[in-house]
């Protein structure tokens, strides 16, 4: 009976979370990015359009790329890196995206802006694992905390 009650409570209050992995290879100036989100949440958030207004349009891969590019931004010394979508996978329950970007050059600071589903859910948590050379960190973005900066040595 307890298990049934717990299952009903979990179903009634879903977890609103995404996972992002970011790795920077300074020697080759290459960013590797991985994003994982729940499919139903992604579809609902995409319907809200771009953060600055306007619709997300195009075929599936183009619209997914527009969404990720709008909600997840990496800046090197305040200059955004231009990401490229390599893989978009869907298994019915979740979407997984693999992206890459070429860095702009020698980096002094890195800023990550993560607004995935922050307009959709007040309790949204966007978990990030970031690797910048010798520095590795886990960070939790929220609706009110969408920016994290790092000094790069």
Question: Could you report the per-residue pLDDT of 30-66, keeping only the tens digit for each?
Answer: 999 999 999 989 999 999 999 988 999 999 899 999 9
Q: In angstroms, rounded to a whole number, what is the distance separating the alpha carbons of residues 45 and 127? A: 17
- Tokens 């231009």 belong to which residue? 82
User: Which pair of tokens denotes residue 4?
Assistant: 């049934």
Collect the ranges in the chain with pLDDT lower than 50.
1-2, 4-13
Contact 44, 67 (CB under 8 A): no
Q: Is the whole-model pTM more than 0.85?
A: yes
pLDDT of res. 104: 84
User: Which pair of tokens denotes residue 139?
Assistant: 């960070």
Handedness of CA 14, 114, 93, 49 (dihedral sign): positive
Furthest-apart CA atoms within the chain: distance in Å: 59
What CA dihedral angle connects 111, 116, 121 and 125, to 10 degrees? -60
Q: In angstroms, rounded to a whole number, what is the distance separating the alpha carbons of residues 145 and 118? A: 10
| Beta strand ranges found along 3-93 (DSSP E) | 17-25, 30-38, 72-76, 79-80, 83-90
pLDDT of res. 11: 46
Secondary structure letter of residue 65 according to DSSP = H
């Amino acid at each position: 009976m307890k298990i049934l009650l717990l299952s009903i409570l979990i179903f009634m209050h879903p977890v609103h979370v995404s996972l992002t992995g970011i790795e920077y290879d300074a020697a080759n100036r290459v960013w590797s990015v991985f994003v994982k989100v729940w499919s139903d949440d992604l579809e609902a958030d995409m319907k809200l359009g771009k953060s600055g207004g306007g619709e997300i349009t195009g075929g599936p891969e183009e619209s997914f790329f527009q969404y990720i590019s709008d909600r997840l931004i990496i800046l090197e010394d305040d200059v955004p890196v231009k990401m490229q979508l390599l893989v978009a996978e869907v298994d019915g329950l979740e979407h997984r995206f693999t992206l890459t970007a070429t860095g702009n050059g020698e980096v002094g600071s890195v800023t990550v802006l993560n607004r995935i589903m922050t307009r959709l859910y007040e309790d949204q948590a966007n978990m990030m694992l970031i690797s910048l050379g010798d520095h590795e960190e886990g960070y939790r973005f929220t609706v009110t905390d969408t920016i994290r900066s790092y000094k790069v040595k």
